[in-house]
Structure 1
Amino acid sequence: MKFTDGLWQLRPGVTALYAAEAYDIQAEQNAVTVTAPTTVIHRRGDTLNRPVLSLRLDSPLENVIRVRIDHHVSDGRGFDLDGAEPGHGLVKAGENGATLTSGALGATIAPGAPGT
């Protein structure tokens, strides 16, 4: 990517794909894992030849929510935060999705596509 004209622009021939819906939400003790296809799944055929993203939300520090987005396997890139240790987040799950809370900060993941 390059930054010009006040917008993020992709190189010619590159197409960006974004998560279209939270298809599956797995709540753990201190983290939330979301399976997010790049198109809304209406029928079984929509699952063919489509990339799927895996999102993981957790909290390494109080008042911090980390979001990791992977396609296939994480390559290990990133950086550590001073004082980071697992287990700062509190997860509450229900029929309407899951919420990860860390101090005064919270992230809610609702199932389905935005606006549905």
Structure 2
Amino acid sequence: MSTIGTKLARLRKQRGYSQEEVAAHLKVSQPAYHKWEAESSRPTNENLAKICDFYNIDMEELLDENRSVFSHNTISNATILNPTNSTISNINMNSPELLQTLVNNQQEISKLIDMQGKLINELIKK
């Protein structure tokens, strides 16, 4: 589960921005932006829309605590891409959501390899 503050911090760090840079783009003070990440206050609806535009994400992705900001990322030639194929240059490879997704993918790959081996053995027997 990721809160808005956690997602804001992750998005900012993924993209390599400082709090000052994001705050300037959103036309808010750095202390105000810091409070959003620290969850001591919440952005207005207008600022939520600006945040989504800035990071090129859906409002649902930002507000839904059960949805990760990594949910639609794919790896292509060791470059992390989001759904709009814009590069995320600085990704936290230690993110719990990302690591869990990698583990789940590895488990699925292992199952497929096991099934492939069984099929090959059955074909060899015939």
Q: What TM-score range do you get, normalising by the shorter chain?
A: under 0.3
Please report the TM-score for the alignment, with normalisation by the length of structure 2: 0.24
Higher share of residues assigned helix = 2
Please report the TM-score for the alignment, with normalisation by the length of structure 1: 0.25
Task: Please tell me whether Structure 1 or Structure 2 has the larger radius of gyration of its CA atoms.
Answer: 2
Higher share of residues assigned strand = 1
